[in-house]
């Protein structure tokens, strides 16, 4: 039992993907969380585009603040989708809300 759970914890580098913000910040997140975004999933899986080759995506229109929030949300969603435990609220700073809506539309998530 400990074995399987350990295996689950252990991820190889291939399980991760690098997201780069417009201002150069890099976020390395679980691939499975990342592809909750339909756009990211397509970027990584469709054909032989440069993103899937390098396993990283450079978002030229999303700054680090927003991208961080996006990553948080992706993990949050990854963690609680199909979860039986109680789901805690996901807080968003109202100041970011509008921009996040736009980004969410862009990312399809």
Partner 1 sequence: MNSRRTNQKSRIKPPKKSNAADSQFNDNWERLAQAIREIHKKNASILSFEELYRNAYNMVLHKNGDKLYEGVKRVITQHLEEVAVAQIVPNFPLSGASSSSQTNPVNGVGGANFLKVLKNVWEDHITCMLMIRDILMYMDRVYAKSANVPPVYDLGLELFRDTIVRSQKYPIQIHLLDVLLQQILLERENEIIDRSSVKASMDMLLELVDASTRETVYSIDFEGRFLETSAEYYRVEGQMLVGECDAPEYMKKVEKRLIEEEQRVRHYLSQSTEQKIRSIVEEELISKHLKTVIDMENSGLIPMLRNEKMDDLARMYKLFGRVSQGHEEMKSAISNYIRELGKAINETVSSGSNNNISTTSTDGGGGDKSQTGTSVAIRWVQEVLDLKDKFDKVQSLALSNDKSFQTAFNEAFEYFINKNPKSPEFISLFIDDNLKKGLKGKTEEEVDSVLDKTITLFRFISEKDVFERYYKQHLAKRLLLGRSVSDDAERGMIGKLKIECGYQFTSKLEGMFNDMRISTDTMSDFKEYLDKSVLERPKLDLNVTVLTSTFWPMNMPASPRCNFPAEITRACEAFQRFYLGRHSGRRLTWQSNMGTADIRANFNSKKHEINVSTYQMVILLMFNDVPPGKDLSYETIKGESDIPEVDLKRNLQSLACAKYKILLKEPKGREINAGDKFYFNEDFTAPYQRIKIQTVASKVETEGERKDTREKVEEARKHQTEAAIVRIMKDRKTMEHNLLISETTRQLQPRFTPNPAMIKKRIEALIEREYLERAPGDRRVYNYLA
- Opening angle at CA 80, ends 27 and 17, nearest 5: 25
Lookup: tokens for 72: 């948080």
Exposure of 66 in the CB half-sphere (CA atoms within 13 A): 20
Query: Whose Cβ is closer to partner 1: residue 33's or residue 66's?
Result: 66
Q: Which one of 16, 76, 80, 106 is in contact with partner 1 (CB under 8 A)? A: 106
Q: What is the DSSP letter of 28?
A: E
Interface pick for partner 1 out of 7, 13, 24, 47 (rule CB under 8 A): 47
| Residues at the site binding partner 1, with contacts judged by CB under 8 A | 38-39, 42-43, 46-53, 57-61, 94-95, 98-99, 102, 106, 108
């Amino acid at each position: 039992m400990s074995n399987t759970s350990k295996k689950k914890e252990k991820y190889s580098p291939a399980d991760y993907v690098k997201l780069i913000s417009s201002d150069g910040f890099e976020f390395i997140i679980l691939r499975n969380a990342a592809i909750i975004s339909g756009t990211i999933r397509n970027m990584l899986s469709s054909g032989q585009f440069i993103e899937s080759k390098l396993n990283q995506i450079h978002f030229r229109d999303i700054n680090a603040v927003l991208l961080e929030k996006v990553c948080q949300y992706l993990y949050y969603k990854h963690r609680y989708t199909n979860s039986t435990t109680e789901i805690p609220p996901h807080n968003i700073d109202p100041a970011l809300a509008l921009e996040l809506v736009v980004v969410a539309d862009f990312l399809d998530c």
